[in-house]
Structure 1
Amino acid sequence: MEKWQGKVAIVTGASAGIGAAIAKALVQKGVLVAGLARRIDRIEELSRTLSMEEAPGKLYGLKCDITKEEDILKSFKWITENVGPVHILVNNAGLIKPTSLTEGATQDWRKVFDVNVMALCICTREALKIMRKNKIDGHIIHINNIGGHVIPCIPKDESLMNVYPASKFAVTALTESLRQELKILKSKTKVTSISPGMVITSEFQKNLGSAASLYYKDGPTIKPSDVAEAVIYSLSTGENVQVQDLIIRPFGDT
């Protein structure tokens, strides 16, 4: 990780759960991290904690609704001018809605794709613009999901997954499409998809409610810090190695 010390990383959805764990891990490795979220009070609280621990990096909190392109553009501009050009982008922000394909609301479906696919594409495009302009060999990391590889079998009365796996299958495809595009451009910027299995976070429980919590409570899970470790591993590989697709299952998962 020495090559990233003092460099700039952008982490979306950094206020809690996996995003907060990734931001913390990067700061502890000496990276300057800009955390994007709608609730920056949590990011600022984490930043104060890391400062007290004398972590070698620094965490900046920026209020950003990633479903709004103007918010993304404004945030990337501020980061470039006040922190520096981005070297690492972690597209972590994700959304799942408890709806169904047979009776679901259009606005819920659209919201899932806006967060999980469109925002990821916009952030990736803007980061790559900055990297190419500044001749940076960077790293794009998509926090995917095991649902981007297999369709989870969920009891029909809960109707939890609906369009969510489709949005994550899109992330899997976008990772490979970007890898091919960067290869054609002779870019040395890497792209990685990290697909964790079940991670129970406050956002997961909030969005899916008590039924999901009961369904998963006895099953094997992984922690947000486990996903953060996978990010650090992917960033730590040598120039000749690209971790394209990393699936992390809870031990004992079926």
Structure 2
Amino acid sequence: MDRWVGKIAVVTGASAGLGAAISKKLVEEGINVAGFARRKEKIEELARTVEGKNGAKLYAVQVDITSEEEVINAFRYVLENLGPVSILVNNAGIVQNTTLIDGNAECWKKVLDTNVLGLCVATREAVNIMRNHDIAGHIIHINSVAGHRVPPIPYTNVYSASKFAVTSLAQTLSKELKGIGSRIKVTSVSPGYVETDIVKANGFTTNETIMQIEKIAPRMYPIDIANAVAYVIGTPPHVEVTELTVQPLGEPV
């Protein structure tokens, strides 16, 4: 990890859950983190509790990841005020409480705009900065086991499809970068069930079926995924972890 000390990372969806844990872990490792989220105040609260190695800090940047203009402006702000980006963690993601059979198209659109298009725009901006500054950086997509197989869980509708897209986007990006001789690494990190506020934040608390599954499911915690991200970032320059699947013990395969 020493080669990243003092460098700049962007973490999307940094206000809570996995994004907050990943941001905290990277700062503790000496990496300056620009946390992107709509709830800027939540990142500012977290920043006051984080003690970074070698003076590293967490910076709050208000961004709606579904707005291309806001994402572009945010990366420009980071470049001009903090420095060029060396690491991008595409963590922002949502799931909506609906179905395919009689689903709400607006809910589908929110998922795809966040989980797929927002990720693509953030990746494009980070890669352009890395290439313009000759940085052998690292792009990490926080994927899901649902991006490799459809889970036997109701009400996932387009969520799994969005994560299958993330699997494809990671592989496609890797091929594009290799095609131009880039040294930028690409990693898909695919967690199983992690205990976060995602169920509450996405309107599932009134869904008895989902709440019952959530109550008994084997689980991991945000720090487990933060440690996984630190692991893949910490690999030596000649090693690229292309896919890392992390599941709680006992979770059905």
2:160 to 144, 156, 165: 165
Query: 1:42: Cα distance to partner?
Result: 1.0
Please point out which of 196, 208, 224 is paired with 1:201: 196
State whether residues 11 and 89 of structure 2, in contact with CA within 8 Å, keep that contact through their aligned partners in structure 1.
yes
Amino acid at match of 1:79: V
User: In the alignment, which residue of structure 1 is the partner of 2:65?
Assistant: 66
Using the alignment, how far apart are the partners of 1:69 and 1:215 within structure 2?
35
Corresponding residue of 2:238:
240
The question of 1:231 aligning with 2:229 is answered yes
3-state SS of 2:34 partner: strand
- CA distances 1:195-227 after superposition (whole Å, capped 9, x unpaired): 000012113333122432321211210101000
CA RMSD of aligned residues (A): 1.2
Task: For 2:115, give the aligned amino acid.
Answer: N
For residues 121 and 8 of structure 1, what CA distance do their matches in structure 2 show? 19
Residues 17-67 of structure 1: CA deviation (Å, up to 9, x unaligned): 00000000000000010000000111001111114x777410000110011
Contact 1:116-1:167 within 8 A present in 2 as well = yes
CA distance in 2, matches of 1:3, 1:24: 18
Point out the more displaced range, 4-13 or 159-168: 159-168
On the 8 A contact 1:31/1:58 being kept in 2, the answer is yes
Aligned to 1:40: 40
SS in 1 for 2:75: helix
Q: Are 2:100 and 2:158, in contact at CA under 8 Å, matched by a contact in 1?
A: yes
Q: Is residue 189 from structure 1 mapped to residue 184 from structure 2 by the alignment?
A: yes
Structure 2: distance between partners of 1:161 and 1:204 = 12
- Give unmatched runs, 5+ long, in structure 2: none
How far does the alpha carbon of each residue in 1:173-209 deviate from its partner, in whole angstroms, 9 at most, with x for none? 0111111111111000000000000012113333122
Q: Does 2:148 match 1:149?
A: yes
Aligned residue type for 1:206: A
Q: Does the CA contact (< 8 Å) of 1:99 and 1:160 recur in 2?
A: yes
Cα displacement (A) at 1:230:
0.5
Aligned residue in 1 for 2:19? 19
Aligned-partner Cα distance in 2 for 1:231–1:91: 11
Q: What is the TM-score with the length of structure 1 in the denominator? A: 0.95
Match 1:252 to one of 230, 242, 250? 250
Instruction: Report the number of matched residues.
Output: 249
SS at match of 2:35: strand
Check conservation: 2:14, 2:92, Cα contact below 8 A: yes
Q: TM-score, normalised by structure 2?
A: 0.96
Structure 2 CA distance, aligned partners of 1:55 and 1:215?
43
1:108 and 1:33 map into 2 onto residues whose CA distance is: 30
Aligned residues of 2:30 and 2:53 also touching (Cα < 8 A)? no
Separation of aligned partners in 2, 1:6 and 1:55: 8
Checking the alignment, whether the CA contact within 8 Å between 2:84 and 2:133 is kept in structure 1 is yes
Change (3 A) 1:37 1:103: same
Query: Is the Cα contact below 8 Å between 1:205 and 1:213 reproduced in 2?
Result: no
Q: Supply the distance in 1 between the matched residues of 2:212 and 2:86 (Cα, whole angstroms).
A: 40
Task: Pick which of 210-219 and 100-109 moved more.
Answer: 210-219
Contact 2:44-2:59 within 8 A present in 1 as well? yes
CA deviation profile, 1:46-100 (whole Å, cap 9, x unmatched): 111114x777410000110011101001100000000000000000000100100
Partner of 1:125: 124
